[in-house]
Amino acid sequence: MQMEALFTAVAVGFEAVGAAAMIVGFAVALVLGARSLARHEGGQAAFTVLRTTLGAAILLGLEVLVAADLIRTITSKPSLEDAAILGLIVLIRTILSISIQIEIEGTLPWRRALLRSGGQMIGDAVARDRTAGQQASAARGSTTPDPRGG
């Protein structure tokens, strides 16, 4: 297989992973939001969970899509036009990422003590949901073990 075709296939793979991250993240956000409502945490809490988790999924997808664009650009025939287009795409996606991250965390990214990626934020949302589910089970006096291992 020719190298350019291989790298094009890799870039397409990255694009598919980026899109899948956003789609799966959307589904996870809906499930976590619904579970929050089912635990009677209130609409505001469910909306916050939904918004935070969806924002994190979009961040993760954008990060992967930037990698796909970089692979596609550096493996093609170099031209000033391609470099300018890549720069513009990366700039737009970076501004989107920063805006989403500020919305989710309520602070500028460079002011955070700990750097968090989109994937880490989704993991945090799932962990918070698991903890809330365990607390709700304990409050109901459930003696049935949690099948998720908690």
Output the pLDDT for position 82: 78
Output the pLDDT for position 18: 93
Average pLDDT over residues 44-62: 88
Which residue would you say has higher pLDDT here, 76 or 116? 76
Point out the least confidently predicted range of 70-74, 112-116, 134-138.
Answer: 112-116
For 82, other C-beta atoms within 10 Å of its C-beta total 14
Domain ranges of the chain: 3-135
123: CB partners within 8 A, 6+ apart: none
Which residue would you say has higher pLDDT here, 89 or 116? 89
Say if CB 65 and CB 31 are below 8 A apart. Answer: no
Asked whether the predicted pLDDT for residue 138 surpasses 70, the reply is: yes
Output the pLDDT for position 32: 92
Two structure tokens written together for 128: 């918070």
Output the pLDDT for position 111: 66
Which residue would you say has higher pLDDT here, 1 or 124? 124
pLDDT band at 143 (very low <50, low <70, confident <90, very high): low
